[in-house]
């Protein structure tokens, strides 16, 4: 009898500890790398996840032989700065991509409408900002489709070709599921810790953090909740252009070999 009880206990423990079938074999990666310095490329090509990124044709930079930049923002919630950012982009004639969550679309439909109306890309950042490597293919589809439909109701745009995995967490199965739904996964090659609204360090810090990492073909990730970003953006755009850089839309990206 004791043996039976022990066996049942072990089976119960294994059942509670088991990884869901859809997650078996998954190896979540965090999109991190050594930053660019002095115009050189960051270490992305040297990272262990590079083969997975390439397999699913995810993008993180454009043509590294050209002085082009791609400006992208993650919009999980509104902190009062996106309207100013949109005003500045309109003034400077700079295209951008805004990756929005379901919360953002529900809370700020007029800003989402402005993004689309002023020629920017509205990208998918998932409905609830989960770790999508822990979701089934069906759950991933639901997360992304809810955002697409919500944006379509606001903007009239039915197509949403770009997605950015929440928190930069990804895996082979997750990227493949997004790709099967018709999305191009978008990462980045320039970023800094700008999302913590309690750790803003001033306009100059934001400016220096971005400018020190610039390199040909860079995809820049900024968070619109950052007051530092909002204040530094105009100076960043002007300084980048003075260095010969051109800001382009992700729609214009021609991906070259990473070298």
**Active-site option among 56, 74, 120, 194:** 74
CB atoms within 10 A of CB 201: 15
Helix (H) or strand (E) holding 54: helix 50-55
HSE-CB for 160 with a 13 A CA cutoff = 28
Q: What's the CA gap between 178 and 46, in Å, rounded?
A: 24
For this structure, is 56 an active site residue? no
By the 10 Å C-beta count (0-12 exposed, 13-18 middle, 19+ buried), 99 is classed as buried
- Tokens 């960051």 correspond to 42
Which of 56, 120, 215, 223 is catalytic? The answer is 223
Tell me if residue 74 is catalytic.
Answer: yes
How is residue 55 written in tokens?
Answer: 């397999």
Closest alpha carbon to 137 in 23, 4, 18? 23
At 120, is the secondary structure helix, strand, or coil?
Answer: coil
Residue 225 dihedral angles phi and psi, to the nearest 5°: -75, -10
Residue of 166, 181, 89, 96 lying closest to 134 (CA atoms)? 166
What token pair was written down for 2?
Answer: 């004791």
Q: Provide the annotated active-site residues.
A: 74, 223
């Amino acid at each position: 009898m004791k043996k039976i009880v022990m066996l049942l206990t072990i089976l119960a423990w294994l059942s509670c500890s088991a990884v869901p079938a859809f997650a078996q074999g998954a190896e979540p990666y965090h999109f991190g790398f050594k930053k660019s310095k002095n115009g050189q490329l960051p270490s992305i090509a040297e990272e262990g996840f590079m083969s997975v990124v390439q397999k699913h044709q995810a993008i993180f930079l454009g043509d590294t032989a050209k002085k082009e930049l791609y400006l992208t923002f993650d919009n999980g919630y509104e902190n009062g700065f996106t309207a100013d950012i949109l005003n500045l982009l309109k003034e400077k004639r700079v295209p951008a991509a805004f990756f929005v969550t379901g919360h953002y679309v529900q809370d700020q439909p007029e800003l989402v409408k402005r993004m689309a109306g002023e020629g920017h890309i509205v990208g998918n950042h998932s409905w609830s900002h989960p770790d999508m490597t822990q979701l089934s293919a069906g759950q991933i589809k639901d997360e992304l489709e809810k955002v697409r439909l919500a944006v379509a109701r606001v903007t009239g745009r039915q197509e949403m070709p770009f997605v950015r995995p929440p928190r930069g967490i990804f895996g082979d199965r997750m990227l493949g599921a997004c790709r099967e739904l018709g999305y191009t996964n978008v990462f980045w090659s320039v970023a800094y810790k700008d999302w913590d609204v309690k750790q803003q360090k001033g306009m100059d810090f934001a400016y220096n953090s971005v400018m020190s990492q610039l390199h040909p073909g860079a995809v820049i990730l900024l968070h619109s909740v950052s007051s530092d970003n909002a204040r530094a953006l105009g100076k960043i755009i002007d300084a980048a252009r003075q260095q010969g850089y051109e800001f382009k839309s992700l729609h214009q990206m021609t991906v070259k070999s990473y070298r």
